[in-house]
Structure 1
Amino acid sequence: MKTISLFLIGLLLLTGASAAVSAEKKEQTDSRIKELISKMTLEEKLGQMSQFDPGQLGGPENAKQAIKDGKVGSILNLVGASAVNDLQKVAVEESRLGIPLIIARDVIHGYQTIMPIPLGLAASWNAEVAEDAMAVAAAEAASEGIHWTFAPMIDVSRDPRWGRIAESCGEDTYLTSVMAKAMVKGFQGDDLSNPKTIAACAKHFVGYGAAEGGRDYNTTLIPEVQLRNDYLPPFKAAADAGVATFMSAFNDLNGVPTSGNEFTLKQILRQEWGYNGMVVSDWASIAEMIPHGYAANKKEAAERALTAGVDMEMASDCYVGNVQALLDEGKIDMATIDRYVTNILRLKFELGLFERPYTDEALAEKTILTEKHKEIAQQAASESFVLLQNKNEILPLSNEISSVAVIGPLADSPHDQMGTWVFDGKKENSVTPLTALTEKLGDAKVNFAKGLKISRTKSTEGFAEAVEAAEKSDVVLLFLGEESILSGEAHSLANLNLQGRQTELLEAVKATGRPVVLVIMAGRQLTIERELKLADAVLYTWHPGTMGGPAIADMLFGETVPSGKLPVTFPKTVGQIPIYYNHKNTGRPADYEQWTDINKIPAEATQHSLGNTSHYLDAGFEPLLPFGFGLSYSSFAYSNLELSSNTMGAEGAIEVSVDLKNTGKYEAAEVVQLYIRDRFGSVTRPVKQLKGYKKITLKPGETQKVSIVLKAKDLEFFNGKDYVVEAGDFDVWMGTNSKEGLHAEFSIN
């Protein structure tokens, strides 16, 4: 006990000393910032508040002159340590005040070692995987002089027509919040001044993922209750995790563009949350308030953005050209400008740029695409894969198989498997499924035919070769989906079926009588009801990144076991969108007893409400696949759902537990998911909400008690006036997805 006490005393002294050092460092930094600002001209202050691509400045030499004159505080889209150091030297050694540049880049899901798209990372339901993946991205980007990334994108996204759903963590607020914290930690580590970390950016603040009709940049109409309950929590989680920056979005939110929105940027972010980091606009989003119809000109746009609280303007020049006039007219004051410059300079100090402005130009070679990084990428890909179907347990395949047909436009497409928002990944570094399967099985066992040149090809001229490959093989591995260019920013789709003649290619190889394993690479959920019926097994791999091929090959042959779960609901048809698990109920909720199938309506039927429920006559009311769904090569049994208590107070907690048994033949991981329903509230509540989960690995026959603590605080919601925990009755489920689970009840009193 004495040893322990001495240890604790030492720890407390160390903690106190550390806090004192931290406070002293902050005081010194604040003092240096005040001194710098006292020396700065307005032009230099506006320079710090301006971010440009070198091309916008007229090329390298003009950029150098602008930097020397103090007109630029940040550069984006500059690649390579040598090029960065070249411009940084001008800022540090030739400008009047020697303030270093902050170099930014879209490093969304990897720099050169490309990870699965963020939607795929969310499908892992593994925060550690997401954190490790972003740490790799940060280290590689930092080795080439990048200090700041515009990620993570944590827009809750419920419309797969929206191309940027690929960058999101899906439809659920809780899962997105968990991933937001993990990604911020991955990028930033514990210390931003560490040369292997970069500043993260929580984007897009806020509501961008609810773009009307899934059309990018579109209007978003989100009532405040829904905004606060569904769309804001991931951003609050990022802020609490210490995210260095926020980005205001492109969209008009309830009539006010978010880059000029005082309610979200000033009231919520700054005042309610107490956030003191830096806010940057999205690309030209301040100037875009003019076509939005919210500002008459650049001067008015600058006034609205400055009043709302945007510290740095990206790409456009509203600030530079108009702040002097706004000051002269008294529409803004110098204290506001100084506050914004302070936020920017503080970030530069936190990144250690004043002490360490240059990047070691030999670092990249030792950092990028290391074996360790590729291992992390392969692990991330493997955990992101979701097994949607496995008829007759066709998977995993035996290594003793005599031959396989590898068919499809995405079987050997190194560029497309990297996915959207990949600026620096190189296709020559991607290992494709064809390459990995050939290495695993040998040339003699692999019969390859593309079938279609690309996913959008409408010609069937390659079908004959594909059918021939299938006929001389024991099994068909068919790689379909969408090219990377079909998802991402400004790549919305009205039709989510497989493009081109892909489904017909599936039908052609299926007609050979060979079993067909369908592997789908995509940036979003697709409408694949027809394909599920045709294929024997379906593995959804999203766009899996650099090491997607080996991860797929290992999983097909049982060296790894699927553990991914869907972070989004899969619709049967586009006409069901929006469809998501945590919807509200109607006064006439649909059920199978009252659902009327369009094919059962008699001719000339009397016009009436046909069952009085909320459903589509032709598509029903349920999705193709529910949120949280995902199969395994093994099987799991849930039993003995227990609650530590059936009641709790408004500040209490209960423990919810279940026995999970691996009843199959393989060691495997299962994501145990906890959902609740608040039956009655001062505003209507969703039919289900994810409130916790654990990913558990079990050996065959092993049973483990899985417990999740549910706090009353977890049940808090915004009711239009306040955040409240209301007394009442609740349902709770623990199970394998949002549709299936053991059920119990509890109450808050």
Structure 2
Amino acid sequence: MNKKQLIQLVEEMTIDEKINQLLQLAAAFYSDKAEEKTGPMSDLGLNQDIIDTAGTTLGISGAKEAKRVQTEYMKNNRLNIPTILMADIIHGFRTIFPIPLALGNSWDEGAIEKMAEISAKEAAVSGLHVTFSPMVDLVRDPRWGRVMESTGEDPLLNSRLAAAMVRGYQGENLKEDHMRVAACVKHFAAYGGALAGRDYNSVDLSERQLREMYLPGYKAGLDAGAKLVMTSFNTVDGVPATGNEWLFRDVLREEFGFDGVVISDWGAIKELIAHGVAEDEKQAAELAIKAGVDIEMMTMCYPNHLKELIDEGRITESLIDEAVLRILELKNDLGLFENPYRGADEQLEAEVILSDDHRQIAKEIAQKSMVLLKNDSILPLNAQEKVAIVGPGAQSTDILGAWSWQGKKEEAISLVEGAHLLSENLLVATEKFDYFDPSEVAINEAIELAGQVDKVVLALGETDWMSGEAASRSDIRLPEKQLTVFAKIMEKNPNVVVTVYSGRPLDLQGIESAKGIVQAWFPGTEGGSALAEILWGRYNPSGRLSMSFPETVGQVPIFYNVDNTGRPYESAPEEKYVSKYLDVSNYAKYPFGFGLSYSDFEYQDMRTNSDTFTKEEPLEVSITVKNNGQVAGEETVQFYVRDLVGEVSRPVKELKDFQKVWLEPGETQTIRFILSEEMLRYVHKDYKVKSEPGQFVVMIGGNSRDLTTMTVRLND
């Protein structure tokens, strides 16, 4: 259909049909079992007419069910308008990849795009049209459980990976390529800035921080073509996002030029009442539609009150029409008017879902996402060594993460399963080892096994419910019993490698004396195989942190790109009256960009082609990287800049570019970065984005802490 035909379709709709197009209902309302939807219908005050004309559907699964629902929907819809089937496909559909925070650790745009492409393919053959991904909320506080859904603390890295995800999900042409799905950038905006790391909490940011640090990731996803944006639960400058006209009309629509669909998060319109900006559902509906929220997810403010608001002259029908048209345009972009069943295909579903090829790619991406945090000459293990694998994560398949909607734990590969493919010299506990309260029998067995081997792999960490939505934690250390077991095993055998499954950076106090630490995150379906291959040296770890690990939870929020202060710690660290703690350093235990390798990369001979540069003539900065190790490996070369004098205080360093380089043993390569004037622009006092002439420090290294530096000057 063309735009004119879509407008005509809007004109043919009754006001009730138009308003109901703005409603999203969950799968239960389309069940073919009456008893499954009677209760939910009563709870929301729904009737069948509303269900038959609600514009989009949430959480349908499976090609056969998707086709049944679409058939029934269109049969009951007077104008034969198809519904859109949406779902949370966050890091894989049935083949589960590492959680997004882990994916961020890969620093690999190609891998991220491939993950999204496979996720889209599995979802599409199962009948789905839209995924609520990527989540590009910048995150700085690991107490917040939803850090697991973000790619990290840096706006540049988040932006590049957001764009890669959108490309992977959507491909080149959604209408013609039915193996792709539409992407929804979320949560607009600044959801990751929740105060105290507490989910759904208020956010208190300056507009400059919002624009410089938080908005770039969303913008990158939109520039890559994302079709939808989801509102966030939080306030922005005191106004809840879902009713924030400035945020959605001025910033999203006018400044960013976004003309796609805006959807609320679950129940977020009605929550305007709890926020205290609306006295009832009627006012909540008014605020949201005026802000430009096109779809209301799972509350009834729009269906119950929009027509009344029109009759009272508080809103115009044109607001409804523009929202309906955007929804119909999305349906048209997906090709649903031509083929309402789109990619749904039971035969392809059986062939594609969890295929061997998808599992292999999931393993490779999991390997890229794991980070070697510590290695005191204990890794890699070799097949001749006798190794005990103990602890709660040893045989656990609880490695998918909290947002693996269709993933099945029984299809995941545990660490022990993966290790058995690589070594026959393994001792494995037989007793179940609980994450929180292991039995004395299980603890004693682990200690006994530790005394019988050369080395111990102690698998610790979180369970899936400990991170994710509504999973904030004030204490982000490992559970106490796990620390106790670690101490006892170290007494028996000091040659311990700790592996950590988690959905957030943890406070790793209590395991510092381990000779090796591998951060495995929640690595997905093939996680155990990927982790085992790293431990036994089949894969040289290449992951680099996209979010800092605190030395202690008392430091958080902690992040590398902090603004300088009037009394910087670095100026006199031994003095009291500088910005510092009395009992711990200012610095992260493991900083942004950090990660070890079985190779030994040396940085040398940093150069620039000039001491000065201009807008017309950018600067070339180069450095030589050599692999002094005995094995080939991949290094992520990171390029940072500091603006020494700005109109407003500037961060002590900002990531401006990065390159991944593969080096054979003894190989040397020269890596070159181009620094342009455009890369030095920032938000000024008047909120205009521009640069200023002056001195800049350019920095290159393997992480945000260990850097080689030079000073250059930007001239007019």
Instruction: State if a TM-score over 0.5 links the two structures.
Output: yes
1:515-561 C-alpha deviation (Å, 9 max, x unpaired): 111111110010113312x2111111111000011111111111110
2:96, 2:121 → 1: CA distance?
A: 13
Report the residue type matching 1:672 in the other structure: V
Partner of 1:388: 373
Partner of 2:187: 204
Kindly indicate whether the alpha-carbon contact (under 8 Å) linking 1:406 and 1:448 is maintained by their aligned counterparts in 2: yes
1:110, 1:67 → 2: CA distance?
A: 34
Q: Kindly state the Cα deviation for residue 700 of structure 1 after the two structures are TM-superposed.
A: 0.5
Please tell me whether residue 187 in structure 1 is matched to residue 175 in structure 2.
Answer: no
1:507, 1:546 → 2: CA distance?
A: 30
Q: Kindly state the Cα deviation for residue 708 of structure 1 after the two structures are TM-superposed.
A: 1.8
2:606, 2:431 → 1: CA distance?
A: 50
Kindly indicate whether the alpha-carbon contact (under 8 Å) linking 1:286 and 1:305 is maintained by their aligned counterparts in 2: yes
Partner of 1:157: 139
Report the residue type matching 1:33 in the other structure: L
1:361-385 C-alpha deviation (Å, 9 max, x unpaired): 2221011011111111001100001
1:406, 1:471 → 2: CA distance?
A: 12
Report the residue type matching 2:568 in the other structure: P
Please tell me whether residue 73 in structure 1 is matched to residue 55 in structure 2.
Answer: yes
Corresponding residue to 2:350 among 365, 368, 376: 365
Partner of 1:577: 556
Please tell me whether residue 120 in structure 1 is matched to residue 113 in structure 2.
Answer: no
2:335, 2:451 → 1: CA distance?
A: 62
2:493, 2:521 → 1: CA distance?
A: 27
Partner of 2:25: 52
Q: Kindly state the Cα deviation for residue 594 of structure 1 after the two structures are TM-superposed.
A: 3.1
1:615, 1:174 → 2: CA distance?
A: 28
Partner of 1:313: 296
Partner of 2:148: 166
Choose 236-245 or 82-91, whichever is displaced more: 82-91
2:379, 2:487 → 1: CA distance?
A: 20
2:49, 2:634 → 1: CA distance?
A: 53
Q: Kindly state the Cα deviation for residue 38 of structure 1 after the two structures are TM-superposed.
A: 1.3
Please tell me whether residue 400 in structure 1 is matched to residue 384 in structure 2.
Answer: yes
Corresponding residue to 2:704 among 729, 734, 738: 738
Pair 495,461 (structure 1): closer, same or farther in 2 beyond 3 Å? farther
Corresponding residue to 2:240 among 253, 257, 260: 257
Q: Kindly state the Cα deviation for residue 352 of structure 1 after the two structures are TM-superposed.
A: 1.0
Q: Kindly state the Cα deviation for residue 130 of structure 1 after the two structures are TM-superposed.
A: 0.8
1:327-365 C-alpha deviation (Å, 9 max, x unpaired): 112221121111111111111111111111112222210
Report the residue type matching 1:42 in the other structure: I
Partner of 2:126: 144
Pair 687,173 (structure 1): closer, same or farther in 2 beyond 3 Å? same
Partner of 2:226: 243
1:653, 1:713 → 2: CA distance?
A: 9
Corresponding residue to 2:602 among 637, 641, 646: 637
Structure 2, unaligned stretches of length 5 or more? none
Pair 58,398 (structure 1): closer, same or farther in 2 beyond 3 Å? closer
1:573-594 C-alpha deviation (Å, 9 max, x unpaired): 1111111110011111113853
Please tell me whether residue 37 in structure 1 is matched to residue 10 in structure 2.
Answer: yes
Kindly indicate whether the alpha-carbon contact (under 8 Å) linking 2:456 and 2:493 is maintained by their aligned counterparts in 1: no
Choose 449-458 or 211-220, whichever is displaced more: 449-458
2:316, 2:31 → 1: CA distance?
A: 31
Q: Kindly state the Cα deviation for residue 189 of structure 1 after the two structures are TM-superposed.
A: 1.1
Corresponding residue to 2:646 among 648, 659, 681: 681
The 5 A counterparts of 1:450-469 are 453-457=433-437, 459-469=439-449
Please tell me whether residue 540 in structure 1 is matched to residue 506 in structure 2.
Answer: no
Corresponding residue to 1:379 among 354, 364, 371: 364
Choose 560-569 or 511-520, whichever is displaced more: 511-520
1:671-727 C-alpha deviation (Å, 9 max, x unpaired): 000000011111110001001001111100111111122221111111131111112
Which SS does the other structure have where 2:670 is aligned?
strand
Q: Kindly state the Cα deviation for residue 420 of structure 1 after the two structures are TM-superposed.
A: 1.6
Kindly indicate whether the alpha-carbon contact (under 8 Å) linking 1:452 and 1:460 is maintained by their aligned counterparts in 2: no
Partner of 1:23: none
Corresponding residue to 2:205 among 203, 217, 222: 222
Kindly indicate whether the alpha-carbon contact (under 8 Å) linking 2:455 and 2:493 is maintained by their aligned counterparts in 1: no
Partner of 1:84: 66
Kindly indicate whether the alpha-carbon contact (under 8 Å) linking 1:311 and 1:344 is maintained by their aligned counterparts in 2: yes
Q: Kindly state the Cα deviation for residue 449 of structure 1 after the two structures are TM-superposed.
A: 2.2
Kindly indicate whether the alpha-carbon contact (under 8 Å) linking 1:116 and 1:544 is maintained by their aligned counterparts in 2: yes
Q: Kindly state the Cα deviation for residue 452 of structure 1 after the two structures are TM-superposed.
A: 6.9
Report the residue type matching 1:544 in the other structure: P
Kindly indicate whether the alpha-carbon contact (under 8 Å) linking 1:675 and 1:734 is maintained by their aligned counterparts in 2: yes
The 5 A counterparts of 1:716-731 are 716-721=681-686, 722-731=688-697
1:61-80 C-alpha deviation (Å, 9 max, x unpaired): 56998478742111101111
Choose 717-726 or 138-147, whichever is displaced more: 717-726
Please tell me whether residue 709 in structure 1 is matched to residue 674 in structure 2.
Answer: yes
Corresponding residue to 2:664 among 686, 692, 699: 699
1:349, 1:479 → 2: CA distance?
A: 49
The 5 A counterparts of 1:598-613 are 611-613=576-578
2:257, 2:33 → 1: CA distance?
A: 39
2:586, 2:136 → 1: CA distance?
A: 28
Kindly indicate whether the alpha-carbon contact (under 8 Å) linking 2:20 and 2:50 is maintained by their aligned counterparts in 1: no
Pair 301,68 (structure 1): closer, same or farther in 2 beyond 3 Å? closer
Report the residue type matching 1:124 in the other structure: S
Q: Kindly state the Cα deviation for residue 652 of structure 1 after the two structures are TM-superposed.
A: 4.6
Kindly indicate whether the alpha-carbon contact (under 8 Å) linking 1:407 and 1:450 is maintained by their aligned counterparts in 2: no
Pair 592,400 (structure 1): closer, same or farther in 2 beyond 3 Å? farther
Number of residue pairs matched? 702
Q: Kindly state the Cα deviation for residue 39 of structure 1 after the two structures are TM-superposed.
A: 0.6
2:402, 2:256 → 1: CA distance?
A: 32
Which SS does the other structure have where 2:182 is aligned?
coil
TM-score by length of 2: 0.96
Kindly indicate whether the alpha-carbon contact (under 8 Å) linking 1:43 and 1:70 is maintained by their aligned counterparts in 2: no
Please tell me whether residue 328 in structure 1 is matched to residue 311 in structure 2.
Answer: yes
Kindly indicate whether the alpha-carbon contact (under 8 Å) linking 1:152 and 1:200 is maintained by their aligned counterparts in 2: yes
Report the residue type matching 2:696 in the other structure: F
Which SS does the other structure have where 2:620 is aligned?
strand
Partner of 1:101: 83
Partner of 2:337: 354
1:385, 1:327 → 2: CA distance?
A: 54
Please tell me whether residue 555 in structure 1 is matched to residue 555 in structure 2.
Answer: no
2:463, 2:562 → 1: CA distance?
A: 31
Kindly indicate whether the alpha-carbon contact (under 8 Å) linking 1:66 and 1:72 is maintained by their aligned counterparts in 2: no
TM-score by length of 1: 0.91
Q: Kindly state the Cα deviation for residue 459 of structure 1 after the two structures are TM-superposed.
A: 5.0
1:104-153 C-alpha deviation (Å, 9 max, x unpaired): 11110011100000000000011111111111111111111111111111
Partner of 2:472: 492
Please tell me whether residue 748 in structure 1 is matched to residue 695 in structure 2.
Answer: no
Q: Kindly state the Cα deviation for residue 470 of structure 1 after the two structures are TM-superposed.
A: 1.0
1:698, 1:304 → 2: CA distance?
A: 56
Please tell me whether residue 518 in structure 1 is matched to residue 503 in structure 2.
Answer: no
Kindly indicate whether the alpha-carbon contact (under 8 Å) linking 1:651 and 1:713 is maintained by their aligned counterparts in 2: no
Pair 60,154 (structure 1): closer, same or farther in 2 beyond 3 Å? farther
Report the residue type matching 1:448 in the other structure: V
Pair 211,452 (structure 1): closer, same or farther in 2 beyond 3 Å? farther
1:600-635 C-alpha deviation (Å, 9 max, x unpaired): xxxxxxxxxx52111110112122111111000010
1:459, 1:107 → 2: CA distance?
A: 37
Q: Kindly state the Cα deviation for residue 184 of structure 1 after the two structures are TM-superposed.
A: 0.8
Percent identity over the alignment is 41
2:82, 2:618 → 1: CA distance?
A: 49
2:438, 2:474 → 1: CA distance?
A: 18
